[in-house]
Structure 1
Amino acid sequence: MYSDSTHSNHDEKLTTADDVNDLRSAIALLKQHPGQYLETDRPVDPNAELAGVYRYIGAGGTVKRPTRLGPAMMFNSIKGYPGSRVLVGVHASRERAALLLGCQPHELAFHMARAVKQPLEPVDVPAEQAPCQEQVFLASDPAFDLRKLLPAPTNTPLDAGPFFCLGLVLASDPQEALTDVTIHRLCVQGRDELSMFLATGRHIEVFRQKAEAAGKPLPVTINMGLDPAIYIGACFEAPTTPFGYNELSVAGALRGRPVELVPGVAVPERAIARAEIVIEGELLPNVRVKEDQNTHSGHAMPEFPGYCGDANPSLPVIKVKAVTMRRQAILQTLVGPGEEHTTLAGIPTEASIYNAVEAALPGFLQNVYAHTAGGGKFLAVLQVKKRSANDEGRQGQAALIALATYSELKNVIVVDEDVDPFDSNDVLWAMTTRYQGDVSTTFLPGIRGHQLDPSQMPDYSPSIRERGISCKTIFDCTVPWALKDRFERAPFMDVDPRPFAPSLFE
């Protein structure tokens, strides 16, 4: 049975974004808003079927069509896992992200930009104040088996195995008092083993390398089912959050109260106290496995550009020591190429670009959108306002700052203040009527991009020296200052339409 869950008891206190401090309070907020949350009791297989269903319900993003934006969805009956629940799509719409963070959708970049500049460090709490440790399962128990305990989904039948797609890994520098959090690709490899994909340059990868050089394991906790502010805040990257910046402090700033941490039960590392599920373990030194060693599929899982990524032939291994969880715990996941990735990666990208451009060109950048077509990483639309003849040419400077601020960015489209950067039709209209390819395009070849872009490989073009090298492109779709009066949009009368069609504006 499917039910669109909304809040019906008007005598109960309504939840606001200020009340959200974990996943359950976030769900309570979503339930109050029609169309934002859906539950089903129909049994679903976590192996490809769950993602296959949500593809049609609300995945969006770069998922193969047909797909759409839709509600977050709770699956209450998971085949083979009595009592387990899986939630998908919490972040899979910009409107929902804004609702959960207490701002308007077009204000998300500004909201995040303020938070990253006003960090509020996390605090420690005792175990009795940590719901994540209501249940404890130790890997030393002969009956322990991660594969049977948690219903890690696969996105497609080609996946290397079951993946935890929203595992926020927390680890500390083995030599300095530094802690970092990052979402990583985690594949279940055995009863107590996970493989972990760590991109070069990630701060936790630096921690792992230091520990491995000393011949020691690196303790980690994998935190799942969190306050949405924690997930979004954790996705900032250098140089916005340089080495030593704990991204949990962004969530603290967003909520106006610190994130609570608790010591692990089996490893000397902390966990997020109000998480639904925590996996505790150690990254082993000098141990590697093939990501698809159990399936030999050749594929990892579908990634944000919309393609199935290649299985990595050699990944570090996490030896699981314990799993702790709340009672009736919720496993939170996402569909790899979906809109959820755009929210998680894109909003911090927007905030980073906004802060950088505003510092160099105050008042020039009006807004920025890390577009869904680029998964929140590859494509940005910058809305600028030329205020005088002296601002002509600054649109290119703003685009260069954006490319320098976020190294994985590939293409930048710049539009005027009368173009909605969040409306793709409006952006393409500007490209159609305010752009000439031979004079409005800037090419920047030979720049490092992102290894998951399948076009950034030498066999795609001989101009590409190695995988991950790209030609960055700036599309200037702004009107030259001297021609502004010839490009004024049709001046419709400004009227209030609500009295004429009230049902459309409820």
Structure 2
Amino acid sequence: MSETQSTVTDLRSALALLEQYGDELIETNEPVDPIAELSGVYRYVGAHGTVQRPTRVGPAMMFNKVKGYDDMRVVIGVLSSRKRVARLFGTSEEQLAFMLKDAVDKPIAPIVVPREQAACQEVVHLATDPGFDILKILPAPTNTPEDAGPYFTLGMCYAADPETGEHDVTIHRLCVQSKDEISMYFVPGRHLDTFRMKAEAAGKALPISISIGVDPAIEIGACFEPPTTPLGFDELSIAGGLRNKAVELVDCLSVNARGIANAEVVIEGELVPNYRVREDQNTDTGKAMPEFPGYTGEAKAAVPVIKVKAITHRKHPILQTCIGPSDEHTNMAGIPTEASILQMVERALPGFVQNVHCPSPGTGKYLAVLQVKKRTPADEGRQRQAALLAFSAFSELKHVILVDEDVELFDMNDVMWAMTTRYQGDISTVFIPGVRCHPLDPSSDPAFSPSIRDHGIACKTIFDCTVPWALKANFQRSQFLEVDVNRFIPGFTQ
């Protein structure tokens, strides 16, 4: 276990680690408006991802003064660089997916601690208190001027199956609708939605907690999906495996649910049965918020509602947020996807796939680059089998690019070079039409192509940019002399 694994236990210890580096965390005392201005600043500073240019890879940013809030800071971009994620886990960028795969294989279940040990309950606001208002307590950012409203974008939503008692944690689009109501958008198939539907069918509310500002291991672990983590698998146990220490939970004060004990903020509430609201009922913009593909999502006509019963938080709390299309999403979604694909293909084709990368242009969900090593003539064709396994490992994947072991899959310039010199469209492309993908891809719609039967269905595609085994000798890259550059440039990193 690395020193980082043992020292990072919550958001504050993660930020303390980043402060040891000169380029990972900056802060400002300039007052910022949470309505559009905060995200507008970070768009330039470090969002990157699918955010409209100009943007860049940059440090995380702490806003120490938020207009309208005397004792609340906001941090953004904690996970918006792959190098920063690697530093938070004490590993290299190339080994992150392998580390997560091992954590899935060796999970450590969460534990419940007494309330007196829960930092998240140092300050308590009950919905029955006079003047209770979510937005008077928490500066939920409005990402753009056309958003449906203020959103919590990094809330770890934790609930239990009302029939089995099994727990799950996921991240959802949460819009503040009133002083004590938050709408919750579910992409079809999410486990918490299954729990909600079971409770609703029985005419009951589903108790839920929303923990904000936690150990990054929890945020990464929460983004695993089936089949790697099937219904009933508590993703908090992946965070336990990553840190080699159980995640600590605490019983909520107002509902029969559990929150993350050392979170900065915990919102307690219940998903109300048979109650829906229009997501943009307060603004009538028709838009929701910026989503990971780079477009602003459509406001939904009828979304479930959480009735908030209490908000608890640490003293001098830090609200954590992210920009939907930023690399923060790419890393949270993409690295678990890489780990899931590695797990699947290693079982079927041991030693064949060398690494997997879900790069920023692919949003972490839609594109995976698989680096393979053909060792014998019998391996020809297995690269395409590996691509099919990748689609099975992560159902929302849309494109797979296959490259050889001499291609640096973390360098998209090198990947595009392989597509330019080792790919012919008519024989190197495999189309798999009519497969369910993700509803937030605007091109996955009948209006885009008559071949698409329904919104959210896509043509999945394999781009085979590998050299045929019989032609290997004709595709050798130029080999330069190995030299010690430090002789010429002291301190140079090769």
The correspondence for 2:77, drawn from 80, 84, 89, is: 89
Tell me, yes or no, if the aligned pair for 1:350 and 1:370 is still in contact at 8 Å: yes
Matched, 1:220 2:214: no
Q: Which residue in 2 is equivalent to 1:321?
A: 309
Tell me, yes or no, if the aligned pair for 1:15 and 1:29 is still in contact at 8 Å: no
Tell me, yes or no, if the aligned pair for 2:169 and 2:236 is still in contact at 8 Å: yes
Matched, 1:262 2:250: yes
> Residues of 2 paired with 1:137 and 1:502: CA distance?
57
Q: Which residue in 1 is equivalent to 2:100?
A: 112
Q: Which residue in 1 is equivalent to 2:153?
A: 165
The correspondence for 1:418, drawn from 395, 406, 411, is: 406
The correspondence for 1:30, drawn from 18, 21, 24, is: 18
The correspondence for 2:467, drawn from 476, 479, 489, is: 479
Q: Which residue in 1 is equivalent to 2:343?
A: 355
Q: Which residue in 1 is equivalent to 2:138?
A: 150
Q: Which residue in 1 is equivalent to 2:232?
A: 244
The correspondence for 1:139, drawn from 127, 135, 145, is: 127
TM-score by length of 2: 0.99
Q: Which residue in 2 is equivalent to 1:52?
A: 40
Segments of structure 1 that go 5 or more residues without pairing to the other structure are 1-13
Q: Compute the displacement of 1:503 (Å).
A: 4.4
Identity %: 62
Q: Which residue in 1 is equivalent to 2:443?
A: 455
Q: Compute the displacement of 1:345 (Å).
A: 0.3
Tell me, yes or no, if the aligned pair for 2:47 and 2:328 is still in contact at 8 Å: yes
The correspondence for 1:274, drawn from 262, 266, 275, is: 262
Matched, 1:393 2:381: yes
Amino acid at match of 2:203: G
Q: Which residue in 2 is equivalent to 1:285?
A: 273
Q: Which residue in 2 is equivalent to 1:339?
A: 327
Amino acid at match of 1:356: M
The correspondence for 1:403, drawn from 391, 410, 427, is: 391
Q: Compute the displacement of 1:17 (Å).
A: 3.7
Matched, 1:470 2:428: no
> Residues of 2 paired with 1:90 and 1:504: CA distance?
28
Residues 10-59 of structure 1: per-residue CA shift (max 9 Å, x gap): xxxx9734200000000010000110000000111111111010011000
The correspondence for 2:361, drawn from 373, 398, 408, is: 373
Amino acid at match of 2:110: P
Matched, 1:191 2:179: yes
Q: Compute the displacement of 1:504 (Å).
A: 4.2
Q: Which residue in 2 is equivalent to 1:11?
A: none
SS at match of 2:38: helix
Segments of structure 2 that go 5 or more residues without pairing to the other structure are none
Tell me, yes or no, if the aligned pair for 2:272 and 2:305 is still in contact at 8 Å: yes
Residues 287-325 of structure 1: per-residue CA shift (max 9 Å, x gap): 000000000010000100000000010000000000000
Amino acid at match of 1:52: G
> Residues of 2 paired with 1:136 and 1:494: CA distance?
62
> Residues of 1 paired with 2:3 and 2:414: CA distance?
35
Q: Compute the displacement of 1:469 (Å).
A: 0.8
Amino acid at match of 1:74: M
Tell me, yes or no, if the aligned pair for 1:22 and 1:226 is still in contact at 8 Å: yes
> Residues of 2 paired with 1:98 and 1:253: CA distance?
16
Amino acid at match of 1:384: V
Tell me, yes or no, if the aligned pair for 1:17 and 1:99 is still in contact at 8 Å: no
Q: Compute the displacement of 1:497 (Å).
A: 1.7
> Residues of 1 paired with 2:274 and 2:337: CA distance?
34
The correspondence for 2:296, drawn from 304, 308, 319, is: 308
Tell me, yes or no, if the aligned pair for 1:120 and 1:257 is still in contact at 8 Å: yes
Amino acid at match of 2:425: G
SS at match of 2:234: coil
SS at match of 1:16: helix
The correspondence for 2:196, drawn from 208, 214, 239, is: 208
Q: Which residue in 2 is equivalent to 1:10?
A: none
SS at match of 2:193: helix
SS at match of 2:310: strand
Q: Compute the displacement of 1:177 (Å).
A: 2.2
> Residues of 2 paired with 1:303 and 1:16: CA distance?
31
SS at match of 1:21: coil
> Residues of 2 paired with 1:413 and 1:393: CA distance?
14
Residues 424-463 of structure 1: per-residue CA shift (max 9 Å, x gap): 1000000000000011000011111111000000010100
> Residues of 1 paired with 2:151 and 2:166: CA distance?
28
Amino acid at match of 2:449: S
Residues 403-444 of structure 1: per-residue CA shift (max 9 Å, x gap): 111110000000000001110100000000000001100001
Tell me, yes or no, if the aligned pair for 2:181 and 2:305 is still in contact at 8 Å: yes
Q: Which residue in 2 is equivalent to 1:295?
A: 283
Tell me, yes or no, if the aligned pair for 2:3 and 2:90 is still in contact at 8 Å: no
Tell me, yes or no, if the aligned pair for 2:370 and 2:409 is still in contact at 8 Å: yes
> Residues of 2 paired with 1:248 and 1:110: CA distance?
18
SS at match of 2:176: strand
Matched, 1:383 2:383: no
Shift in CA distance, 498/428, structure 1 to aligned 2, threshold 3 Å: same
> Residues of 1 paired with 2:351 and 2:157: CA distance?
37
> Residues of 2 paired with 1:459 and 1:123: CA distance?
49
Residues 206-229 of structure 1: per-residue CA shift (max 9 Å, x gap): 110111111111000000000000
Q: Compute the displacement of 1:502 (Å).
A: 2.9
> Residues of 1 paired with 2:347 and 2:468: CA distance?
24
> Residues of 1 paired with 2:439 and 2:133: CA distance?
34
Residues 56-111 of structure 1: per-residue CA shift (max 9 Å, x gap): 10000000000000001000011111221000000001101111111100001100
Amino acid at match of 1:388: T
Q: Which residue in 2 is equivalent to 1:446?
A: 434
Q: Compute the displacement of 1:147 (Å).
A: 1.3
Tell me, yes or no, if the aligned pair for 1:18 and 1:102 is still in contact at 8 Å: no
Alpha-carbon RMSD = 1.1
